[in-house]
Structure 1
Amino acid sequence: MAKRNTPTKQLILDSLKKSKSAVSQEILQKELGEAVDRATIYRVLNSFCDDGIVHKILGDDGKYYFAFCVNCSEKKHRHNHFHFKCLNCGKIECLPNEVEVKLPVGYRSVNFNGFISGYCSECSH
């Protein structure tokens, strides 16, 4: 059964698309104001993850951030890469290089969450 695109989903999707950084539920809540409640934002973000529209990043602060992967040529997020958080400007972004982790025989990877913090190219000068 196809999922319905509601005005609320479209509002959240538009906010994610225009963001230059991965965003948390709290950031979206501030941006959207009272137009969408917290529970709906979480539900829609998780639905977008399940559908492969965005991917979820566990930040060094324990919060989840959501982003479109600019490095994916497919609709679904299917590769492993590091995420970078700038300690100065706070931007969280996907790094372009894929990471290959060699696991012991018999192990199978389902998810990868690599997170690096430091200073982005704009803030490191």
Structure 2
Amino acid sequence: MEEAKLKHLLRDSGLRYTRQRGEVLHLFRQHDGALTQNELEKKLPEQFDRITLYRILRSFEASGLLHKVLDDSGTTRFALCGTGCSEHEHHDEHVHFRCTHCAKTLCLPQVAIPAIHLPKGYVTSEAKLLIDGLCPSCATVLQN
């Protein structure tokens, strides 16, 4: 059943289903939060090559399946896009949250970035907001 859903998601994004694409997409659907290429490499079978994974991630981003997540560590993280993203436009202007204890980075699509009014002459091309704090799991553990 899951494979059929993966095939459908890829086809709807204009991508052909391959076993490798299916495995990468499956990992994102099973994982709660953003993933780096390095984290994916550790979760995927050894026969997965780094260049293939790089190309898959770029094609997923270009087709609107993934978006890059703001992270001041310098490491690119990716997360599943919501509905309505395409190769031409990502609707990922939502808040991202990074837990300072476990380092998990999550999308919070229900929290919109507040409207920011720039001075005259400035034009916004993209808005990103990262909030650092404790996720519910870590906050509970640390309070006990």
TM-score by length of 1: 0.84
Does residue 98 (structure 1) correspond to residue 112 (structure 2)? The answer is yes
The question of whether the paired residues in 2 share the 8 Å contact of 1:53 and 1:75 is answered with no
Q: Write the distance in 2 (CA, Å) between the matches of 1:9 and 1:37.
A: 12
Q: Write the distance in 2 (CA, Å) between the matches of 1:62 and 1:120.
A: 21
Shift of 1:68: 1.3
The question of whether the paired residues in 2 share the 8 Å contact of 1:58 and 1:113 is answered with yes
Structure showing greater Rg: 2
**1:1-125 counterparts in 2 under 5 A?**
2-69=14-81, 72=82, 74-76=83-85, 77-95=90-108, 96-99=110-113, 100-125=115-140
Q: Write the distance in 2 (CA, Å) between the matches of 1:109 and 1:51.
A: 23
Q: Which amino acid is 2:130 matched to?
A: F
Q: Please, what is the CA RMSD of the aligned residues?
A: 1.8
Q: Which one has the bigger helix percentage?
A: 2
Q: Write the distance in 1 (CA, Å) between the matches of 2:122 and 2:62.
A: 23
Q: Which amino acid is 1:23 matched to?
A: L
Shift of 1:106: 4.1
The alignment partner of 1:122 has SS state of helix
Task: Return closer, same or farther for 1:79/1:13 CA change in 2, 3 Å cut-off.
Answer: closer
Tell me the number of residue pairs that the alignment of Structure 1 and Structure 2 aligns: 121
The question of whether the paired residues in 2 share the 8 Å contact of 1:22 and 1:93 is answered with yes
Q: Which amino acid is 2:134 matched to?
A: Y
The alignment partner of 2:136 has SS state of coil
Q: Unaligned stretches of 5+ in structure 2?
A: 1-13
